[in-house]
Every structure is written in structure tokens, then in C-alpha cells.
């Protein structure tokens, strides 16, 4: 603590994934990752009518997000209590969005998979729209959850909801394009998704870089967060620098540029595409981990103006 | 103010429009020795196991060599007027009482730790596993006391509200009568801690705030802490 006061900031320790409960403490990051990929994939699959993608999204949501998040809680049997402060708490809202998304998306996917009988049902458009809107809300809620935290200036900005939202859609397009190797996707849809994916990679890269530059110009705690992410602070944040920024965005951008502008359907080109998409997904994981891990509080030092 | 008169006034104000009491604490940094008696007394009184800290005293170095001095700053839950933890808590386990004390209902907490993340004062501890100071020995005290704190929930300072509640029923005045005062305040060997009703102009805490210059931590966040610090007096 003495060192902390000297440094003028302290990194948050509650959501680091480290703790004495072992695996349970590590469940938060997978939950946040799948909590982005699942609704992102659902949105892209719904808009392109890709049923296998809808199924994978539902499975990722229930197994990847739901179970992991419940396992992370200190008292998992009380998870339902998380709905009791919808008025103020973003966790409550997130839980509500997730429940609506889980029920509506599962219902829609099951009915949609049943074929034409379900298509004629007058309730299908309603379920479809509920699942679509709840997936949008569910996708953005972790960003709002972080931006609510006034105590951590690095998080307390409008960037987080936007970034988390776009990262989710980016992940969704990446998973759907990867699934194209196993399931048949219309080539025109695939090409469209690839262009969207390419634009989203550029957008995320620009958002992250501008956020890092702007935040590095502010207070000491924000600078510490940026330094952490760039691996300058004790080298701890290199996962973000190499895993998310370079490996997860810059390299995929170069590979996708080669694929889009020089094209081709050889095995090497396809392998390049899949490599880029897998790197994108790992990059999203490391970016989320880095942003959460880098949250730093200004220290408890007494204001200088008090002249103590 | 006479306790009897105050309680009469509170009875007449039960329409909810007026909350007369607002408990707060004043910490005199000139008097704090950094002895950690408050930390230990709190742990002992509340039966807190390892890693659970409600009150801690941090050290800060001030000035440049050779004109250097060390300052001790007791930190704890600030019982804010606008507590971020209450807004963030998804279960409603963290509550703010009408008298300003922020409490946790352990039976409602689900252990998501969002309250701890949003707290600017790092005032909360998570109880991850059951730990003991003396795990090898058959320690009845640890058996009984640690069981009161549920594993997987949060813990923080609650101004020893059970002492306050019990004592006010017996017409004792919190901050004046030791039985109705938080254990850290009555155990402080430097008399650096003061507790009382900030809304009562005649209470010790109100008078001190009127007489001395004071400040609160991280006021710019708008949380409105109920803990005030009296700055260290300049050495002559």
C-alpha cells in the first residue's frame, strides 16, 4: 500500500481472474468473452439466416456465458437475486437482457429449425424481434457496466459500450466465417460478411488507438492503465499489446487486406483467412482481459490543496 | 442535544420527510499514530479472519528530503451520501440506512464483487474461502466468530451499527457513550477518531467541523463521504 500511495494509483484486483478459488475466479473472463461472441454471432446469423450460427450462438450463450458467469459468483445459488436492482445496477440489467435473450433466442432457433410450420406462425416475427433487440442490449451491457465505474477513470468513458458492442459483432462475423468451412454459406453472404469484418477490424483498431491516446493525456491513473496495456508498466500488459493490438488487429488486418485485394481460392489463401479470423477472436479475448485488468484507481492520497 | 429531546423530535418526524440523524466520523490526522489499534480492535470485535479488513491505516510520505514527514491515514468505508456500491449492487444486499450507515445484508449478497470494483475507497473485502489464523489448533473462538461471515460474500465497515442500535434503544448517545460508539473509536489510543451525529449542531463531530478545517477523500467524485479528516497541524 505504501508503494501504491507513492505511485499515485492502484490497479483493481477484484476482476483480475486471480484469486484463492482457483478455476472459479478465472471464469469471469470466459464469461465476458462468450457474452460478446454469442450475441454478436446471433445478430450476424439472424441477419443472414444462418441456422447453424444461431444454434452455436445459443450454446455459447448458455454454456460459455451463463454457466461460467454463475460459477464465478461467490454464492452461485443466489444468482437470481441479481435481478433485484434493475433501477440502478448494470449487472441486474445485463442479467435481465441475458435471460430475455436466452429464452427468446432459444425459442426462435428451435421454432426456426422446425421449418415451414414454424415460419407460418404469427408469433415468429415477435420472437425474432425480441431476440434481436435483447441480443443488442446484451452485447452492449458489459461496456455500460464498466463505464458506470466513476472510481476508475480509464473505464469511465463512452468508449467502452461502443467498443464492447463492435467487438461483439466483429467476433460474431469471425465465428460465422469460420463456420463457413463446415457449413455451406452463400458465397455472396460470405463475401459481404468478410467486408463487414474487415471494416470492423479497422473500426476497433481506430477506437482502441484513439482511446489509448486520449486517455494517456489525462490523469495519472489513466496513464497508468495505458502504460499497462502497452506493456510499459512492469511488462505485465504485453498480452494486450501483442495478443490484442498486434496479433488480434494489425496482423489480421494485413492478412485480410491480402485476401480481399489479391483474392483467390487456393488452400494457402483460405488458410490465411482462417488464421486471420482465429487471431481476431483471440485478440478480442485479450483486449477484454486487458481493458478489465488495466482499470486503475487514483490513490487515496490526500489532496495537495489541503496542505497537510 | 439531550437524547430524550432528540428521540422525541424523531418520533414527531416519522413522516419520512426529515431524517434527523446522520452518523459520521472525524479523523484527526495530527493525532493518528499509525498504531493500527483500530484495525486490530475491529478484527477482534467483529471476528474477522485473515484477509478481511474493515479498517486499515496507510502511510504516506510528505515533503522532500530533508524536510520529510510521515502521515498515517486511517481508511474504511466512507458511508457516502451517494454510495456507488448501493447503486451498483445487483441484489440490493448493500443498503443505505436512513441514519446514513451503509450496510451489507450477507444473506442477500451473491458475491459478484461489483460493489468492490465501483468503490473509490477500496473499502470492501471479499471472503473467498474460509481461512483461519490458527488452522492447526482447535480454536472455539474462530469456530464461532468466523461462521458469522459467509464465504463468497462481501464484507465492510458498518460503523458497528449493532452497537449503535442496541444502545440507542437504551437512550445512550452514539459518539458520547462508549457502549454506543464504534469499537475503533473507543479503542483509539491517540483519541484521533470521533464519531457522532453530523446533523446535531451540538455534537462533538459538528463542533469539530465548525472549529477546524477539514476535508474528505475524493470529493470530486460526488460520493459525499461521511468521514472527514482534520489536516495535520503545521509544525512550528
Q: Mind listing the pLDDT tens digit for each residue in A244-261?
A: 999 999 999 999 998 887
User: Which of B84, B117, B222 lies nearest to residue A14, judging by beta carbons?
Assistant: B117
Cβ within 8 Å of residue A290, ≥6 positions away: A228, A229, A237, A239, A240, A243, A244
Give the pLDDT score at B6.
56
CATH number at residue A79: 1.20.1630.10
Distance of CA B196 to the CA centre of its chain: 12
Q: What is the distance in angstroms between the Cα of A235 and the nearest Cα belonging to chain B?
A: 23
- Residue A275, chain B, CB below 8 Å: the answer is no
pLDDT of A133 > 60? The answer is yes
ipTM of the complex model: 0.88
Distance (Å) from the C-alpha of residue A159 to the closest C-alpha of chain B?
18
Beta bridge partners of B103: B95
Residues of chain A contacting residue B114, judged by C-beta atoms under 8 Å apart = 89, 91, 145
Closest among B187, B188, B181 to B165, alpha carbons compared: B181
Which of A82-96, A147-161, B13-27 shows the lowest mean pLDDT across its residues? B13-27
Backbone angles phi, psi at B144, to 5 degrees: -80, -50
The answer to whether the Cβ–Cβ distance between B108 and A12 falls below 8 Å is no
pLDDT for the residue numbered A117: 56
Mean pLDDT across chain A: 88
Which of A148-157, A180-189, A297-306 is the most confident on average?
A148-157
Q: How many whole angstroms separate alpha carbon A41 and alpha carbon A283?
A: 16
The pairing of strands B94-96 and B102-104 is antiparallel
* pLDDT value at A4 more than 50: no
Residue B38 confidence (pLDDT): 96
Is B75 in Cβ contact with A300 (below 8 Å)? yes
Q: Looking at per-residue confidence, does A248 or A185 come out higher? A: A248
List, in sequence order, every residue forming a beta bridge with B104; answer none if it has no partner: B94
Q: Measured between beta carbons, which residues in chain A are less than 8 angstroms from residue B234? A: 307
Q: Per residue of chain B (236 residues), what is the pLDDT tens digit?
A: 455 555 555 554 444 434 588 999 999 999 999 999 999 999 999 999 888 999 999 888 777 788 788 889 999 999 999 999 999 999 999 999 999 999 999 999 999 999 999 999 989 999 998 888 888 887 888 888 888 889 999 999 999 999 998 877 788 888 888 899 999 999 999 999 999 999 999 999 999 999 999 999 988 899 999 999 998 876 65
Average pLDDT (A123-144) is 93
Residue of B nearest to A297 (CA): B120
- Chain A residue with minimum CA distance to B152: A74
Q: Are A300 and B113 in contact (CB < 8 Å)?
A: no
Distance from CA of A90 to the nearest CA of B (A): 7
A17: closest chain B residue by CA = B113
Q: What is the pLDDT of residue B136?
A: 82
Cα–Cα distance for residue pair B205/B196, rounded to 1 Å: 6
State the pLDDT confidence band at A2, using cuts at 50, 70 and 90: very low
Contact A8, A220 (CB under 8 A): yes
- pLDDT, greater one: A300 or B89: B89
Chain B partners of A8 at a C-beta cutoff of 8 Å? none
The whole-angstrom distance between A240's CA and the closest CA on chain B is: 21
User: With 70 as the cut, is the pLDDT of residue A145 above it?
Assistant: yes
Q: Which residues of B touch A73 (CB under 8 A)?
A: 110-112, 152
Q: Do A300 and B91 touch (CB under 8 A)?
A: no
Q: A96 to chain B: nearest residue by CA?
A: B90
For position B83, what pLDDT does the model report? 96
A92 contacts B231? CB cut-off 8 A = no
Contact A302 B119 (CB under 8 A): no
Phi, psi of A46 (to 5 degrees): -70, -45
Provide the 3-class DSSP secondary structure of residue A6.
Answer: helix
* B212/A273 Cα distance (integer angstroms): 69
Q: What is the pTM of this model?
A: 0.88
Q: Put residue B16 in one of left, alpha, beta given phi > 0 → left and psi -120 to 50 → alpha.
A: left
pLDDT class of A34 with cuts at 50, 70, 90: very high
Average pLDDT over residues A236-243: 84
Name which of B91, B213, B229 is nearest A84 (Cβ-Cβ): B91
* Nearest CA-CA partner of B159 in B132, B190, B186: B186
Rg over CA atoms, chain A? 21
Q: What are the pLDDT digits (tens) for A36-79?
A: 999 999 999 999 999 999 999 999 999 999 999 999 999 999 99
Domain ranges in chain B are 21-230
Look at residue A273 and tell me whether its pLDDT is greater than 70: yes
Pairwise CB contact (< 8 Å): A91 & B118: no
Q: How large is the average pLDDT for residues A236-242?
A: 83
Residues in chain A with CB shorter than 8 Å from the CB of B69 are none
CA A221/CA A227 separation, integer angstroms: 10
Q: How many domains does chain A have?
A: 1
Q: How confident is the model at residue A211 (pLDDT cuts 50, 70, 90)?
A: very high
Mean pLDDT, rounded, for A29-41: 96
CATH number for domain B21-230, candidates 3.40.50.150, 3.40.50.970, 3.30.70.20, 3.10.20.310: 3.30.70.20
pLDDT of residue B17: 36
What pLDDT was estimated at residue B7? 55
**Chain B closest-CA separation from residue A301 CA (Å):** 8
3-state secondary structure of A166: helix
Q: Answer yes or no: is pLDDT of A116 > 80.
A: no
Give the A window 76-95 contacts with B, CB below 8 Å.
76, 78-79, 81-85, 88-92, 95
Q: Which of A80, A155, A300 to mutate to test the interface with B (most CBs of B within 10 A)?
A: A300
Q: Phi and psi of A72, rounded to 5°?
A: -70, -30
pLDDT band at A119 (very low <50, low <70, confident <90, very high): low
Q: Give residues with Cβ within 8 angstroms of B186, minimum separation 6.
A: B178
Residue A125 has pLDDT above 70, yes or no: yes
In A, minimum Cα distance to B56 occurs at A1
Whether residue A103 is predicted with pLDDT greater than 90 in this model: the reply is yes
Cell of B121: 475507497
Q: Which domain holds residue A80?
A: 2-306
Q: From CA A72, how far away is CA A290, in angstroms rounded?
A: 19
Average of per-residue pLDDT across A171-195: 90
Amino acid at each position: 500500500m505504501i508503494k501504491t500511495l507513492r505511485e499515485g494509483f492502484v490497479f483493481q484486483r477484484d476482476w483480475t481472474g486471480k484469486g484463492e478459488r482457483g478455476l472459479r475466479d478465472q471464469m469471469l473472463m470466459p464469461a465476458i468473452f462468450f457474452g460478446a461472441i454469442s450475441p454478436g454471432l446471433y445478430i450476424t446469423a439472424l441477419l443472414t439466416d444462418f441456422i447453424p450460427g444461431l444454434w452455436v450462438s445459443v450454446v455459447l450463450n448458455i454454456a460459455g456465458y451463463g454457466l461460467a458467469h454463475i460459477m464465478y459468483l461467490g454464492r452461485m445459488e443466489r444468482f437470481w437475486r441479481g435481478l433485484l436492482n434493475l433501477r440502478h445496477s448494470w449487472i441486474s440489467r445485463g442479467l435481465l437482457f441475458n435471460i430475455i435473450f436466452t429464452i427468446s433466442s432459444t425459442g426462435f432457433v428451435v421454432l426456426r429449425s422446425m421449418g415451414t410450420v414454424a415460419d407460418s406462425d404469427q408469433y415468429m416475427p415477435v420472437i425474432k424481434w425480441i431476440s434481436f433487440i435483447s441480443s443488442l442490449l446484451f452485447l452492449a451491457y458489459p461496456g455500460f457496466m464498466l463505464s458506470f465505474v466513476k472510481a476508475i477513470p480509464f473505464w469511465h468513458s463512452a468508449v467502452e459500450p461502443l467498443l464492447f458492442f463492435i467487438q461483439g459483432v466483429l467476433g460474431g462475423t469471425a465465428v460465422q466465417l469460420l463456420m463457413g468451412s463446415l457449413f455451406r454459406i452463400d458465397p455472396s453472404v460470405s463475401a459481404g460478411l468478410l467486408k463487414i469484418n474487415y471494416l470492423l477490424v479497422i473500426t476497433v483498431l481506430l477506437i482502441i488507438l484513439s482511446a489509448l491516446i486520449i486517455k494517456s493525456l489525462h490523469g495519472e491513473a489513466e496513464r497508468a492503465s495505458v502504460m499497462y496495456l502497452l506493456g510499459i508498466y512492469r511488462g505485465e500488459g504485453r498480452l494486450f499489446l501483442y495478443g490484442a493490438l498486434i496479433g488480434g488487429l494489425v496482423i489480421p488486418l494485413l492478412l485480410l487486406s491480402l485476401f480481399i485485394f489479391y483474392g483467390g481460392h487456393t488452400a494457402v489463401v483460405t488458410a490465411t483467412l482462417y488464421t486471420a479470423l482465429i487471431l481476431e477472436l483471440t485478440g478480442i479475448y485479450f483486449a477484454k482481459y486487458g481493458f478489465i485488468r488495466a482499470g486503475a484507481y487514483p490513490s487515496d492520497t490526500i489532496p495537495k490543496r489541503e496542505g497537510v | 442535544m439531550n437524547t430524550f429531546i432528540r428521540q422525541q423530535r424523531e418520533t414527531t418526524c416519522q413522516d419520512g420527510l426529515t431524517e434527523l440523524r446522520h452518523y459520521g466520523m472525524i479523523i484527526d490526522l495530527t493525532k493518528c499514530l499509525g498504531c493500527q489499534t483500530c484495525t486490530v480492535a475491529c478484527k477482534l470485535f467483529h471476528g474477522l479472519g485473515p484477509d478481511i479488513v474493515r479498517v486499515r491505516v496507510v502511510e504516506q510520505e510528505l515533503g522532500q528530503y530533508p524536510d520529510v514527514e510521515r502521515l498515517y491515514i486511517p481508511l474504511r468505508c466512507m458511508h457516502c451520501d451517494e454510495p456507488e456500491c448501493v447503486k451498483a449492487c445487483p441484489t440490493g444486499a448493500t443498503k443505505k440506512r436512513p441514519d446514513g450507515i451503509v450496510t451489507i445484508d450477507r444473506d442477500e449478497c451473491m458475491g459478484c464483487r461489483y460493489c468492490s470494483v465501483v468503490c473509490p475507497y477500496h473499502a470492501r473485502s471479499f471472503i473467498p474461502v474460509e481461512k483461519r489464523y490458527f488452522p492447526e489448533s482447535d480454536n472455539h473462538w474462530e469456530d464461532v466468530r468466523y461462521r458469522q461471515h459467509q464465504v463468497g460474500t462481501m464484507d465492510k465497515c458498518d460503523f458497528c451499527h449493532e452497537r449503535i442500535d442496541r444502545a440507542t434503544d437504551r437512550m445512550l448517545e452514539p459518539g458520547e457513550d462508549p457502549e454506543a460508539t464504534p469499537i475503533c473509536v473507543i479503542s483509539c489510543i491517540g483519541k484521533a477518531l470521533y464519531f457522532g451525529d453530523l446533523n446535531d449542531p451540538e455534537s462533538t463531530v459538528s463542533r469539530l467541523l465548525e472549529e477546524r478545517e477539514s476535508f474528505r477523500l475524493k470529493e470530486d467524485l460526488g460520493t459525499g463521504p461521511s468521514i472527514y479528516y482534520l489536516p495535520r497541524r503545521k509544525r512550528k
